[in-house]
Amino acid sequence: MNTKNDTLTLMETRRSIRCFKPDMPPQEAIDAVIGAGLWAASGRNGQAPIIIAVTDKAVRDQISRWNAKIMGVDSDPFYGAPVILIVLADKGRPTYVYDGSLTMGNMMLAAHSLGLGSCWIHRAKEEFEAEEGKALLKSLGIEGDYEGIGHCALGYADGDAPASLPRREGRVYRIG
Ligand SMILES: Cc1cc2nc3c(=O)[nH]c(=O)nc-3n(C[C@H](O)[C@H](O)[C@H](O)COP(=O)(O)O)c2cc1C
């Protein structure tokens, strides 16, 4: 069996990108990344996650300020990325956190496969527990009990991807 294929190589070579160009990727690339998120496996196929795709600069900058405030910094937590794909998941599903995380993972790999950079940016939970986050959901007609899982910052990497760190030893236990 050939254990060196493109998919496995893609998984090994994806890195979190922390410096983005302001250029907007083509809509079809953004949609392909979103599509990969929608195809993620989910507990009992409940498809609990939803994705808010933010490309509007004013809204993107506003969310950046909310996130920075939660983190207690003045800088842009999205590192200049022009696209933010926010994953939230329906808390009514027992596997919603896992489902949302897998959606994030699929999107980051899809981005890499298309030559785009991505980075999981945290604090979506706090963002959508706050009044402004709830108001944003309401403005989109999103009702129900959704928890913020993560943001996928997306765009063209500005500069080389960081070097990969070796995998920590001793994380695999084998039986048989
Ligand atoms: C749950 C989770 C939360 C993360 N939150 C952030 C974040 O807020 N900001 C950030 O720069 N990177 C964040 N990251 C990216 C990690 O720091 C990154 O995946 C890790 O350093 C390994 O690097 P790699 O993705 O290049 O392999 C997060 C990753 C995960 C899985």
Nearest alpha carbon, ligand 1 atom 11: 121
The alpha carbon of 18 and the centre of ligand 1 are apart by a number of angstroms equal to: 10
> Cα(24)–Cα(78) distance, rounded to whole angstroms?
14
Rounded-to-integer distance, Cα 109 and Cα 12, Å? 10
Could you tell me which of 107, 115, 114 has the C-alpha nearest to residue 84? 107
> What SS3 class is residue 176?
coil
Per-residue pLDDT of the chain (176 residues; tens, 9 = 90+): 888 999 999 999 999 999 999 999 999 999 999 999 999 999 999 999 999 999 999 999 999 999 999 999 999 999 999 999 999 999 999 999 999 999 999 999 999 999 999 999 999 999 999 999 999 999 999 999 999 999 999 999 999 989 988 999 999 999 99
**What's the Cα-to-Cα distance from 30 to each of 71, 171, 174, rounded to whole Å?**
27, 34, 39
| 3-class DSSP assignment, residue 49 | strand
What is the CB < 6 Å shell around ligand 1?
15-16, 18, 119-122
What kind and span of H or E run contains 117?
A: strand 117-121
